[in-house]
Structure 1
Amino acid sequence: MADLNSLLDDLAAESAELEALVAPLPPEQWARPTPAAGWTIAHQIGHLTWTDEVATLAATDARTGSTDFTELLTEAAPRIATFVDDAAALAAGAPVPELLQRWQDGRAVLAEALRAVPADAKVAWFGPPMRPGSMATARLMETWAHGQDVADALGIRREPTDRLRAVAHIGVRTRDFAYAVRELPPPADEFRVELTAPSGAQWSWGPADAAQRISGSALDFCLLVTQRRHPDDLALQATGKQAMEWLTIAQAFAGPPGTGREAGVFS
Protein backbone atom coordinates (compact mmCIF):
# COMPACT_ATOMS: atom_id res chain seq x y z
CA MET A 1 0.00 0.00 0.00
CA ALA A 2 0.95 3.67 -0.27
CA ASP A 3 2.90 5.42 2.46
CA LEU A 4 1.15 7.19 5.33
CA ASN A 5 1.30 10.67 3.84
CA SER A 6 -0.20 9.48 0.55
CA LEU A 7 -2.98 7.67 2.42
CA LEU A 8 -3.72 10.75 4.49
CA ASP A 9 -3.82 12.84 1.31
CA ASP A 10 -6.36 10.40 -0.13
CA LEU A 11 -8.36 10.50 3.11
CA ALA A 12 -8.42 14.30 2.95
CA ALA A 13 -9.56 14.20 -0.68
CA GLU A 14 -12.30 11.66 0.05
CA SER A 15 -13.51 13.74 3.01
CA ALA A 16 -13.50 16.90 0.93
CA GLU A 17 -15.61 15.20 -1.75
CA LEU A 18 -18.17 14.16 0.85
CA GLU A 19 -18.10 17.61 2.42
CA ALA A 20 -18.92 19.10 -0.98
CA LEU A 21 -22.12 17.02 -0.98
CA VAL A 22 -23.33 17.94 2.50
CA ALA A 23 -22.04 21.46 3.21
CA PRO A 24 -24.44 23.23 0.79
CA LEU A 25 -27.50 21.37 2.11
CA PRO A 26 -29.98 23.35 4.20
CA PRO A 27 -30.22 22.03 7.78
CA GLU A 28 -33.54 20.30 7.13
CA GLN A 29 -31.92 18.17 4.42
CA TRP A 30 -29.46 16.77 6.96
CA ALA A 31 -32.49 14.99 8.44
CA ARG A 32 -33.01 13.05 5.19
CA PRO A 33 -32.97 9.26 5.78
CA THR A 34 -30.10 7.21 4.32
CA PRO A 35 -30.04 3.50 3.43
CA ALA A 36 -28.68 2.70 6.92
CA ALA A 37 -31.80 2.01 8.98
CA GLY A 38 -32.51 4.84 11.42
CA TRP A 39 -29.60 6.98 10.21
CA THR A 40 -30.01 10.38 8.60
CA ILE A 41 -27.32 12.31 6.74
CA ALA A 42 -26.54 13.99 10.07
CA HIS A 43 -26.04 10.54 11.65
CA GLN A 44 -23.59 9.62 8.88
CA ILE A 45 -21.50 12.76 9.39
CA GLY A 46 -21.87 12.46 13.15
CA HIS A 47 -20.55 8.92 13.03
CA LEU A 48 -17.52 9.93 10.96
CA THR A 49 -16.87 12.85 13.29
CA TRP A 50 -17.03 10.74 16.43
CA THR A 51 -14.99 7.90 14.93
CA ASP A 52 -12.26 10.30 13.79
CA GLU A 53 -12.10 11.69 17.33
CA VAL A 54 -11.90 8.22 18.86
CA ALA A 55 -9.20 7.27 16.34
CA THR A 56 -7.27 10.37 17.43
CA LEU A 57 -7.57 9.17 21.02
CA ALA A 58 -6.19 5.74 20.05
CA ALA A 59 -3.38 7.26 18.00
CA THR A 60 -2.40 9.52 20.91
CA ASP A 61 -2.31 6.48 23.20
CA ALA A 62 0.02 4.71 20.75
CA ARG A 63 2.40 7.67 20.87
CA THR A 64 2.27 8.46 24.58
CA GLY A 65 1.53 5.12 26.21
CA SER A 66 -1.68 6.42 27.81
CA THR A 67 -4.78 4.22 28.01
CA ASP A 68 -7.67 6.58 27.23
CA PHE A 69 -8.96 4.48 24.33
CA THR A 70 -8.83 1.25 26.36
CA GLU A 71 -10.72 2.97 29.16
CA LEU A 72 -13.34 4.13 26.66
CA LEU A 73 -13.85 0.54 25.49
CA THR A 74 -14.12 -0.69 29.07
CA GLU A 75 -16.68 1.98 29.90
CA ALA A 76 -18.68 1.11 26.78
CA ALA A 77 -18.68 -2.66 27.33
CA PRO A 78 -22.11 -2.86 29.05
CA ARG A 79 -23.74 -1.05 26.12
CA ILE A 80 -21.49 -2.19 23.30
CA ALA A 81 -24.46 -3.28 21.14
CA THR A 82 -25.71 0.31 20.86
CA PHE A 83 -22.46 2.18 21.54
CA VAL A 84 -21.79 3.29 17.95
CA ASP A 85 -25.41 4.14 17.15
CA ASP A 86 -25.73 6.15 20.36
CA ALA A 87 -22.62 8.16 19.54
CA ALA A 88 -23.89 8.90 16.03
CA ALA A 89 -27.27 10.00 17.38
CA LEU A 90 -25.68 12.27 19.96
CA ALA A 91 -23.46 13.93 17.36
CA ALA A 92 -26.36 14.24 14.91
CA GLY A 93 -28.34 16.21 17.49
CA ALA A 94 -25.99 19.18 17.30
CA PRO A 95 -26.80 22.18 15.08
CA VAL A 96 -25.61 21.51 11.53
CA PRO A 97 -22.96 24.28 11.42
CA GLU A 98 -21.52 23.03 14.71
CA LEU A 99 -21.39 19.42 13.52
CA LEU A 100 -19.82 20.39 10.21
CA GLN A 101 -17.12 22.44 11.94
CA ARG A 102 -16.45 19.65 14.43
CA TRP A 103 -16.00 17.17 11.58
CA GLN A 104 -13.65 19.50 9.70
CA ASP A 105 -11.53 20.17 12.79
CA GLY A 106 -11.43 16.51 13.82
CA ARG A 107 -10.14 15.37 10.44
CA ALA A 108 -7.16 17.70 10.64
CA VAL A 109 -6.36 16.67 14.22
CA LEU A 110 -6.53 12.97 13.32
CA ALA A 111 -4.11 13.39 10.42
CA GLU A 112 -1.54 15.03 12.67
CA ALA A 113 -2.08 12.42 15.39
CA LEU A 114 -1.42 9.58 12.94
CA ARG A 115 1.68 11.29 11.57
CA ALA A 116 3.03 11.49 15.13
CA VAL A 117 2.67 7.75 15.82
CA PRO A 118 5.96 5.84 15.48
CA ALA A 119 5.86 3.85 12.25
CA ASP A 120 6.40 0.53 14.05
CA ALA A 121 3.78 1.19 16.75
CA LYS A 122 0.29 -0.28 16.65
CA VAL A 123 -2.88 1.71 17.27
CA ALA A 124 -5.58 -0.02 19.33
CA TRP A 125 -9.01 -0.25 17.74
CA PHE A 126 -12.41 -1.93 17.98
CA GLY A 127 -10.99 -4.72 15.85
CA PRO A 128 -7.34 -5.83 15.82
CA PRO A 129 -4.65 -3.17 16.53
CA MET A 130 -3.14 -1.66 13.40
CA ARG A 131 -0.23 0.39 12.12
CA PRO A 132 -0.81 4.12 11.43
CA GLY A 133 -1.05 3.47 7.69
CA SER A 134 -3.67 0.80 8.23
CA MET A 135 -5.64 3.16 10.46
CA ALA A 136 -5.56 5.80 7.71
CA THR A 137 -6.74 3.14 5.27
CA ALA A 138 -9.58 2.18 7.61
CA ARG A 139 -10.67 5.81 7.97
CA LEU A 140 -10.59 6.20 4.18
CA MET A 141 -12.72 3.08 3.81
CA GLU A 142 -15.28 4.32 6.33
CA THR A 143 -15.40 7.81 4.83
CA TRP A 144 -16.00 6.37 1.37
CA ALA A 145 -18.63 3.90 2.62
CA HIS A 146 -20.62 6.41 4.66
CA GLY A 147 -20.24 8.86 1.81
CA GLN A 148 -21.94 6.27 -0.37
CA ASP A 149 -24.88 6.23 2.05
CA VAL A 150 -25.12 10.02 1.77
CA ALA A 151 -24.90 9.92 -2.02
CA ASP A 152 -27.61 7.27 -2.14
CA ALA A 153 -29.83 9.37 0.12
CA LEU A 154 -29.41 12.33 -2.23
CA GLY A 155 -29.84 10.27 -5.40
CA ILE A 156 -26.34 11.18 -6.56
CA ARG A 157 -23.98 8.89 -8.47
CA ARG A 158 -20.42 9.61 -7.42
CA GLU A 159 -17.61 9.26 -9.92
CA PRO A 160 -15.27 6.54 -8.61
CA THR A 161 -11.55 7.28 -8.30
CA ASP A 162 -8.44 5.19 -7.80
CA ARG A 163 -8.64 6.04 -4.10
CA LEU A 164 -10.72 2.87 -4.08
CA ARG A 165 -7.48 0.88 -4.04
CA ALA A 166 -7.20 1.44 -0.29
CA VAL A 167 -10.80 0.33 0.22
CA ALA A 168 -10.25 -2.78 -1.89
CA HIS A 169 -7.02 -3.53 -0.04
CA ILE A 170 -8.67 -3.51 3.37
CA GLY A 171 -11.50 -5.57 1.89
CA VAL A 172 -9.03 -8.27 0.89
CA ARG A 173 -7.12 -8.09 4.15
CA THR A 174 -10.27 -8.54 6.25
CA ARG A 175 -11.33 -11.79 4.60
CA ASP A 176 -10.57 -13.90 7.67
CA PHE A 177 -12.13 -11.30 9.98
CA ALA A 178 -15.46 -11.71 8.16
CA TYR A 179 -15.38 -15.39 9.00
CA ALA A 180 -14.24 -14.83 12.58
CA VAL A 181 -17.09 -12.47 13.50
CA ARG A 182 -19.51 -15.14 12.28
CA GLU A 183 -17.66 -17.83 14.25
CA LEU A 184 -16.77 -19.65 11.04
CA PRO A 185 -13.39 -21.19 10.20
CA PRO A 186 -11.59 -19.14 7.53
CA PRO A 187 -10.35 -20.82 4.35
CA ALA A 188 -6.85 -22.23 4.69
CA ASP A 189 -5.56 -20.87 1.38
CA GLU A 190 -5.33 -17.33 0.04
CA PHE A 191 -7.74 -16.19 -2.66
CA ARG A 192 -6.82 -14.40 -5.87
CA VAL A 193 -8.59 -11.05 -6.28
CA GLU A 194 -8.29 -9.27 -9.63
CA LEU A 195 -9.99 -5.89 -10.03
CA THR A 196 -10.24 -3.24 -12.71
CA ALA A 197 -9.63 0.24 -11.26
CA PRO A 198 -11.68 3.29 -12.28
CA SER A 199 -8.62 4.44 -14.26
CA GLY A 200 -8.48 1.11 -16.10
CA ALA A 201 -5.45 -0.12 -14.16
CA GLN A 202 -5.41 -3.75 -13.04
CA TRP A 203 -5.08 -4.46 -9.31
CA SER A 204 -4.46 -7.90 -7.85
CA TRP A 205 -3.95 -9.65 -4.53
CA GLY A 206 -3.07 -13.24 -3.70
CA PRO A 207 -1.31 -16.03 -5.60
CA ALA A 208 -1.77 -15.98 -9.37
CA ASP A 209 -2.49 -19.71 -9.36
CA ALA A 210 -5.03 -19.68 -6.49
CA ALA A 211 -8.02 -21.96 -7.03
CA GLN A 212 -10.46 -19.57 -5.35
CA ARG A 213 -10.82 -16.34 -7.33
CA ILE A 214 -12.78 -13.07 -7.40
CA SER A 215 -12.73 -10.67 -10.33
CA GLY A 216 -14.62 -7.61 -11.53
CA SER A 217 -14.63 -3.86 -11.10
CA ALA A 218 -12.98 -2.28 -8.08
CA LEU A 219 -16.12 -0.23 -7.49
CA ASP A 220 -18.31 -3.33 -7.25
CA PHE A 221 -15.81 -5.05 -4.96
CA CYS A 222 -15.69 -2.03 -2.66
CA LEU A 223 -19.48 -1.81 -2.57
CA LEU A 224 -19.47 -5.50 -1.63
CA VAL A 225 -16.92 -5.42 1.21
CA THR A 226 -18.47 -2.31 2.75
CA GLN A 227 -21.91 -3.95 2.39
CA ARG A 228 -23.36 -0.98 0.50
CA ARG A 229 -24.84 -3.26 -2.16
CA HIS A 230 -26.23 -6.78 -2.14
CA PRO A 231 -23.96 -9.30 -3.91
CA ASP A 232 -26.73 -10.10 -6.39
CA ASP A 233 -26.67 -6.48 -7.60
CA LEU A 234 -22.95 -6.53 -8.42
CA ALA A 235 -21.12 -7.83 -11.48
CA LEU A 236 -18.42 -9.75 -9.62
CA GLN A 237 -17.26 -13.15 -10.78
CA ALA A 238 -16.38 -15.84 -8.24
CA THR A 239 -14.59 -19.09 -9.03
CA GLY A 240 -14.73 -21.78 -6.37
CA LYS A 241 -17.17 -22.62 -3.60
CA GLN A 242 -15.24 -20.74 -0.91
CA ALA A 243 -14.92 -17.61 -3.04
CA MET A 244 -18.68 -17.66 -3.70
CA GLU A 245 -19.30 -18.03 0.04
CA TRP A 246 -17.05 -15.08 0.83
CA LEU A 247 -19.11 -12.84 -1.44
CA THR A 248 -22.05 -13.35 0.92
CA ILE A 249 -20.19 -12.42 4.15
CA ALA A 250 -17.36 -10.04 3.13
CA GLN A 251 -16.99 -7.21 5.65
CA ALA A 252 -14.25 -4.60 5.71
CA PHE A 253 -15.46 -2.75 8.81
CA ALA A 254 -15.00 -3.65 12.49
CA GLY A 255 -17.83 -4.79 14.72
CA PRO A 256 -20.42 -7.57 14.64
CA PRO A 257 -21.66 -9.06 11.36
CA GLY A 258 -23.25 -6.39 9.20
CA THR A 259 -26.75 -6.72 7.81
CA GLY A 260 -25.89 -5.32 4.38
CA ARG A 261 -28.50 -4.11 1.90
CA GLU A 262 -31.49 -5.80 0.33
CA ALA A 263 -31.20 -7.02 -3.26
CA GLY A 264 -32.71 -4.87 -5.97
CA VAL A 265 -32.96 -1.65 -3.98
CA PHE A 266 -30.39 0.23 -6.08
CA SER A 267 -30.79 -1.60 -9.37
Structure 2
Amino acid sequence: MTTLDDVLADLAVESEQLESWVAPLDDAQWATVTTPEGWTVAHQVGHLAWTDEASLAAVTHDPSFGEGMKAAAANPTGFVDDAAAQWAAKPAAELLEQWRAGRARLAEALRAVPEGEKVPWFGPPMSPTSMATARVMETWAHSHDVAEALDVAVPQTDRCRHVCHIGVRTRGFAYLVRGQEAPGVDVHVALTAPSGDVWTWGPADAPERVTGSGHDFALLATRRRHPDDVDVHAEGEHAAHWLTIVQAFAGLPGSDPKRLADR
Protein backbone atom coordinates (compact mmCIF):
# COMPACT_ATOMS: atom_id res chain seq x y z
CA MET A 1 0.00 0.00 0.00
CA THR A 2 1.31 3.43 -0.96
CA THR A 3 1.53 5.77 2.05
CA LEU A 4 1.50 9.55 2.27
CA ASP A 5 5.22 9.51 3.11
CA ASP A 6 5.90 7.39 0.00
CA VAL A 7 4.13 9.91 -2.21
CA LEU A 8 5.74 12.92 -0.56
CA ALA A 9 9.17 11.33 -1.03
CA ASP A 10 8.51 10.92 -4.76
CA LEU A 11 7.17 14.48 -4.95
CA ALA A 12 10.38 15.77 -3.37
CA VAL A 13 12.52 13.90 -5.91
CA GLU A 14 10.44 15.14 -8.87
CA SER A 15 10.60 18.72 -7.59
CA GLU A 16 14.33 18.60 -6.92
CA GLN A 17 14.95 17.17 -10.38
CA LEU A 18 13.10 20.04 -12.04
CA GLU A 19 14.85 22.56 -9.83
CA SER A 20 18.23 21.14 -10.88
CA TRP A 21 17.30 21.83 -14.51
CA VAL A 22 16.10 25.41 -14.05
CA ALA A 23 18.29 26.81 -11.26
CA PRO A 24 21.35 27.35 -13.53
CA LEU A 25 19.36 29.16 -16.24
CA ASP A 26 19.94 32.80 -17.08
CA ASP A 27 17.10 35.29 -17.57
CA ALA A 28 16.84 34.61 -21.30
CA GLN A 29 16.56 30.87 -20.70
CA TRP A 30 13.87 31.42 -18.05
CA ALA A 31 11.91 33.10 -20.84
CA THR A 32 12.13 30.00 -23.08
CA VAL A 33 8.65 29.18 -24.40
CA THR A 34 7.55 25.70 -23.38
CA THR A 35 3.98 25.32 -24.66
CA PRO A 36 1.93 26.29 -27.72
CA GLU A 37 -0.02 28.63 -25.42
CA GLY A 38 3.15 30.59 -24.68
CA TRP A 39 4.00 29.49 -21.17
CA THR A 40 7.70 29.99 -20.42
CA VAL A 41 9.96 28.12 -18.02
CA ALA A 42 9.09 30.82 -15.48
CA HIS A 43 5.36 30.22 -16.01
CA GLN A 44 5.84 26.50 -15.42
CA VAL A 45 7.69 26.95 -12.14
CA GLY A 46 5.38 29.79 -11.12
CA HIS A 47 2.34 27.59 -11.71
CA LEU A 48 3.76 24.84 -9.50
CA ALA A 49 4.64 27.33 -6.76
CA TRP A 50 1.19 28.94 -6.93
CA THR A 51 -0.57 25.58 -6.79
CA ASP A 52 1.50 24.57 -3.76
CA GLU A 53 0.44 27.82 -2.08
CA ALA A 54 -3.23 27.22 -2.94
CA SER A 55 -2.94 23.64 -1.66
CA LEU A 56 -1.38 24.85 1.59
CA ALA A 57 -4.22 27.35 2.02
CA ALA A 58 -6.75 24.55 1.50
CA VAL A 59 -5.03 22.24 3.98
CA THR A 60 -4.74 24.93 6.66
CA HIS A 61 -8.23 26.37 6.03
CA ASP A 62 -6.74 29.77 5.23
CA PRO A 63 -9.38 32.26 3.99
CA SER A 64 -7.28 32.87 0.87
CA PHE A 65 -8.41 29.50 -0.46
CA GLY A 66 -12.00 30.68 -0.45
CA GLU A 67 -10.94 33.78 -2.36
CA GLY A 68 -9.22 31.53 -4.88
CA MET A 69 -12.41 29.54 -5.32
CA LYS A 70 -14.30 32.77 -6.06
CA ALA A 71 -11.65 33.82 -8.59
CA ALA A 72 -11.87 30.44 -10.31
CA ALA A 73 -15.67 30.68 -10.52
CA ALA A 74 -15.48 34.21 -11.92
CA ASN A 75 -12.81 33.42 -14.52
CA PRO A 76 -12.80 29.64 -15.12
CA THR A 77 -10.84 29.81 -18.37
CA GLY A 78 -8.22 32.32 -17.30
CA PHE A 79 -7.52 32.27 -13.59
CA VAL A 80 -4.79 29.61 -13.85
CA ASP A 81 -3.01 31.51 -16.63
CA ASP A 82 -3.33 34.77 -14.69
CA ALA A 83 -1.76 33.23 -11.59
CA ALA A 84 1.06 31.68 -13.62
CA ALA A 85 1.81 35.04 -15.24
CA GLN A 86 1.83 36.80 -11.87
CA TRP A 87 4.30 34.32 -10.39
CA ALA A 88 6.40 34.22 -13.56
CA ALA A 89 7.04 37.96 -13.21
CA LYS A 90 9.04 37.39 -10.03
CA PRO A 91 12.87 37.35 -10.21
CA ALA A 92 14.06 33.80 -10.82
CA ALA A 93 15.94 33.48 -7.52
CA GLU A 94 12.93 34.71 -5.56
CA LEU A 95 10.58 32.40 -7.43
CA LEU A 96 12.79 29.38 -6.79
CA GLU A 97 13.09 30.18 -3.09
CA GLN A 98 9.34 30.63 -2.71
CA TRP A 99 8.64 27.38 -4.56
CA ARG A 100 11.20 25.50 -2.43
CA ALA A 101 9.85 26.87 0.84
CA GLY A 102 6.23 26.46 -0.21
CA ARG A 103 6.48 22.80 -1.11
CA ALA A 104 8.25 22.08 2.19
CA ARG A 105 5.45 23.78 4.14
CA LEU A 106 2.84 21.88 2.13
CA ALA A 107 4.46 18.51 2.88
CA GLU A 108 4.54 19.33 6.58
CA ALA A 109 0.90 20.46 6.55
CA LEU A 110 -0.27 17.34 4.71
CA ARG A 111 1.40 15.13 7.30
CA ALA A 112 -0.49 17.02 10.04
CA VAL A 113 -3.99 16.47 8.59
CA PRO A 114 -6.03 14.37 11.06
CA GLU A 115 -6.77 10.78 10.08
CA GLY A 116 -9.84 10.54 7.86
CA GLU A 117 -10.11 14.27 7.16
CA LYS A 118 -10.51 15.44 3.57
CA VAL A 119 -8.91 18.56 2.10
CA PRO A 120 -11.14 20.94 0.10
CA TRP A 121 -10.13 21.63 -3.48
CA PHE A 122 -11.41 23.14 -6.73
CA GLY A 123 -12.85 19.71 -7.50
CA PRO A 124 -14.01 17.12 -4.97
CA PRO A 125 -12.33 17.11 -1.52
CA MET A 126 -9.25 14.88 -1.36
CA SER A 127 -7.35 12.87 1.19
CA PRO A 128 -3.84 14.16 1.98
CA THR A 129 -2.38 11.24 0.00
CA SER A 130 -4.54 12.06 -3.02
CA MET A 131 -3.51 15.72 -2.86
CA ALA A 132 0.16 14.75 -2.70
CA THR A 133 -0.36 12.38 -5.63
CA ALA A 134 -1.91 15.22 -7.60
CA ARG A 135 1.14 17.37 -6.86
CA VAL A 136 3.39 14.59 -8.21
CA MET A 137 1.26 14.42 -11.36
CA GLU A 138 1.45 18.18 -11.94
CA THR A 139 5.17 18.36 -11.23
CA TRP A 140 5.85 15.39 -13.51
CA ALA A 141 3.83 16.91 -16.37
CA HIS A 142 5.25 20.41 -16.16
CA SER A 143 8.76 19.01 -15.79
CA HIS A 144 8.28 17.32 -19.17
CA ASP A 145 7.27 20.63 -20.74
CA VAL A 146 10.40 22.31 -19.40
CA ALA A 147 12.71 19.43 -20.29
CA GLU A 148 11.51 19.25 -23.89
CA ALA A 149 11.91 23.01 -24.34
CA LEU A 150 15.45 22.90 -22.91
CA ASP A 151 16.36 19.67 -24.73
CA VAL A 152 16.90 17.80 -21.46
CA ALA A 153 16.52 14.03 -21.47
CA VAL A 154 13.81 13.05 -18.99
CA PRO A 155 14.69 9.87 -17.07
CA GLN A 156 11.91 7.28 -17.06
CA THR A 157 11.18 6.19 -13.50
CA ASP A 158 8.43 4.33 -11.67
CA ARG A 159 7.29 7.65 -10.19
CA CYS A 160 5.04 7.90 -13.24
CA ARG A 161 2.80 5.32 -11.52
CA HIS A 162 1.22 8.19 -9.56
CA VAL A 163 0.27 9.85 -12.84
CA CYS A 164 -1.10 6.61 -14.28
CA HIS A 165 -3.16 6.01 -11.15
CA ILE A 166 -4.88 9.38 -11.39
CA GLY A 167 -5.40 8.92 -15.12
CA VAL A 168 -7.23 5.65 -14.52
CA ARG A 169 -9.19 6.86 -11.48
CA THR A 170 -10.46 9.92 -13.35
CA ARG A 171 -11.85 8.00 -16.33
CA GLY A 172 -15.41 9.10 -15.58
CA PHE A 173 -14.32 12.72 -15.17
CA ALA A 174 -12.75 12.71 -18.64
CA TYR A 175 -16.20 12.08 -20.12
CA LEU A 176 -18.03 14.43 -17.76
CA VAL A 177 -15.82 17.43 -18.42
CA ARG A 178 -16.44 17.02 -22.17
CA GLY A 179 -20.20 16.69 -21.81
CA GLN A 180 -20.11 13.02 -22.81
CA GLU A 181 -21.84 10.12 -21.13
CA ALA A 182 -19.47 7.56 -19.65
CA PRO A 183 -20.16 4.06 -21.00
CA GLY A 184 -21.08 1.41 -18.46
CA VAL A 185 -18.20 -0.77 -19.61
CA ASP A 186 -15.27 -1.76 -17.40
CA VAL A 187 -11.75 -1.46 -18.79
CA HIS A 188 -8.82 -3.50 -17.53
CA VAL A 189 -5.59 -1.50 -17.57
CA ALA A 190 -2.20 -3.26 -17.49
CA LEU A 191 0.84 -1.01 -17.87
CA THR A 192 4.52 -1.90 -17.85
CA ALA A 193 6.61 0.24 -15.53
CA PRO A 194 10.07 1.51 -16.49
CA SER A 195 11.41 -1.00 -13.93
CA GLY A 196 9.60 -3.84 -15.68
CA ASP A 197 6.87 -4.25 -13.07
CA VAL A 198 3.29 -4.49 -14.32
CA TRP A 199 0.66 -2.19 -12.82
CA THR A 200 -2.99 -3.14 -13.14
CA TRP A 201 -6.36 -1.52 -12.54
CA GLY A 202 -9.89 -2.76 -13.18
CA PRO A 203 -11.37 -6.25 -13.36
CA ALA A 204 -9.09 -8.80 -15.01
CA ASP A 205 -12.07 -10.15 -16.97
CA ALA A 206 -13.23 -6.72 -18.20
CA PRO A 207 -14.48 -6.81 -21.82
CA GLU A 208 -12.07 -4.06 -22.93
CA ARG A 209 -8.38 -3.48 -22.20
CA VAL A 210 -5.61 -0.88 -22.26
CA THR A 211 -2.01 -2.13 -22.27
CA GLY A 212 1.46 -0.75 -22.93
CA SER A 213 4.04 1.57 -21.42
CA GLY A 214 3.26 3.19 -18.07
CA HIS A 215 5.47 6.16 -18.92
CA ASP A 216 3.65 6.68 -22.21
CA PHE A 217 0.22 6.33 -20.58
CA ALA A 218 1.26 9.07 -18.15
CA LEU A 219 2.12 11.29 -21.12
CA LEU A 220 -1.34 10.56 -22.55
CA ALA A 221 -3.08 11.23 -19.24
CA THR A 222 -1.39 14.62 -18.90
CA ARG A 223 -2.29 15.50 -22.50
CA ARG A 224 1.39 15.69 -23.51
CA ARG A 225 1.19 13.15 -26.35
CA HIS A 226 -1.19 12.12 -29.12
CA PRO A 227 -2.36 8.48 -28.94
CA ASP A 228 -0.59 7.79 -32.26
CA ASP A 229 2.78 8.63 -30.70
CA VAL A 230 2.75 6.36 -27.65
CA ASP A 231 3.22 2.69 -26.88
CA VAL A 232 -0.27 2.33 -25.43
CA HIS A 233 -2.89 0.10 -27.03
CA ALA A 234 -6.63 -0.34 -26.65
CA GLU A 235 -8.84 -3.35 -27.24
CA GLY A 236 -12.47 -2.30 -27.66
CA GLU A 237 -14.16 0.84 -28.94
CA HIS A 238 -14.75 2.39 -25.52
CA ALA A 239 -11.16 1.84 -24.42
CA ALA A 240 -9.92 3.34 -27.69
CA HIS A 241 -12.11 6.42 -27.29
CA TRP A 242 -11.00 6.86 -23.68
CA LEU A 243 -7.37 7.12 -24.79
CA THR A 244 -8.31 10.17 -26.88
CA ILE A 245 -9.84 12.01 -23.91
CA VAL A 246 -7.97 10.64 -20.86
CA GLN A 247 -7.16 13.51 -18.50
CA ALA A 248 -5.46 13.25 -15.11
CA PHE A 249 -5.75 16.90 -14.13
CA ALA A 250 -8.81 18.80 -12.88
CA GLY A 251 -10.42 21.68 -14.71
CA LEU A 252 -11.55 22.18 -18.27
CA PRO A 253 -10.50 19.77 -21.04
CA GLY A 254 -6.86 19.99 -21.95
CA SER A 255 -5.72 20.85 -25.43
CA ASP A 256 -5.72 17.97 -27.90
CA PRO A 257 -2.01 17.25 -28.48
CA LYS A 258 -0.74 17.34 -32.03
CA ARG A 259 1.03 14.35 -33.55
CA LEU A 260 4.78 14.69 -33.26
CA ALA A 261 5.07 14.67 -37.05
CA ASP A 262 2.80 17.71 -37.24
CA ARG A 263 4.60 19.85 -34.67
Normalised by the length of structure 1, the TM-score is 0.95
Identify the residue that residue 88 of structure 2 maps to in structure 1: 92
1:230 and 1:262 in contact (8 A); partners too: yes
Please list every run of at least 4 consecutive aligned residues from structure 1 whose deviation after the TM superposition is greater than 6 angstroms: none
Give the total of aligned pairs.
Answer: 263
Q: Distance in 1 between matches of 2:170 and 2:43?
A: 25
Q: Distance in 2 between matches of 1:41 and 1:133?
A: 28
**Distance verdict in 2 for CA 1:266–1:94, change over 3 Å:** farther
Q: Residues 67-78 of structure 1 correspond to what in structure 2 (within 5 A)?
A: 67-78=63-74
Q: Once the 2 structures are TM-superposed, how far is the Cα of residue 263 of structure 1 from its aligned partner?
A: 0.7
2:34 and 2:148 in contact (8 A); partners too: yes
Identify the residue that residue 171 of structure 1 maps to in structure 2: 167
Q: Distance in 2 between matches of 1:209 and 1:18?
A: 40
Identify the residue that residue 41 of structure 1 maps to in structure 2: 41
Q: Residues 32-181 of structure 1 correspond to what in structure 2 (within 5 A)?
A: 32-61=32-61, 67-181=63-177
Q: Once the 2 structures are TM-superposed, how far is the Cα of residue 236 of structure 1 from its aligned partner?
A: 0.9
Q: Distance in 2 between matches of 1:79 and 1:6?
A: 35
**Distance verdict in 2 for CA 1:76–1:238, change over 3 Å:** closer
Q: Distance in 1 between matches of 2:64 and 2:240?
A: 41
2:52 and 2:102 in contact (8 A); partners too: yes
Q: Distance in 1 between matches of 2:115 and 2:227?
A: 36
Identify the residue that residue 245 of structure 1 maps to in structure 2: 241
1:119 and 1:131 in contact (8 A); partners too: no
Q: Once the 2 structures are TM-superposed, how far is the Cα of residue 67 of structure 1 from its aligned partner?
A: 5.0
Normalised by the length of structure 2, the TM-score is 0.96
Identify the residue that residue 31 of structure 1 maps to in structure 2: 31
Partner secondary structure for residue 261 of structure 1: coil
Deviations 1:215-236 (A, max 9, x none): 0000110000000111111121
Q: Distance in 2 between matches of 1:76 and 1:167?
A: 24
2:176 and 2:182 in contact (8 A); partners too: yes
Q: Once the 2 structures are TM-superposed, how far is the Cα of residue 142 of structure 1 from its aligned partner?
A: 0.1
Q: Distance in 1 between matches of 2:210 and 2:184?
A: 16
Deviations 1:177-231 (A, max 9, x none): 1011011111213311100001011110010011111000001100000001111
* Structure 2 residues without counterparts, runs of 5 or longer: none
**Distance verdict in 2 for CA 1:90–1:265, change over 3 Å:** farther
Q: Once the 2 structures are TM-superposed, how far is the Cα of residue 25 of structure 1 from its aligned partner?
A: 1.1
Q: Once the 2 structures are TM-superposed, how far is the Cα of residue 75 of structure 1 from its aligned partner?
A: 3.8
Q: Once the 2 structures are TM-superposed, how far is the Cα of residue 36 of structure 1 from its aligned partner?
A: 4.4
1:34 and 1:149 in contact (8 A); partners too: yes
Amino acid corresponding to residue 192 of structure 2 in structure 1:
T
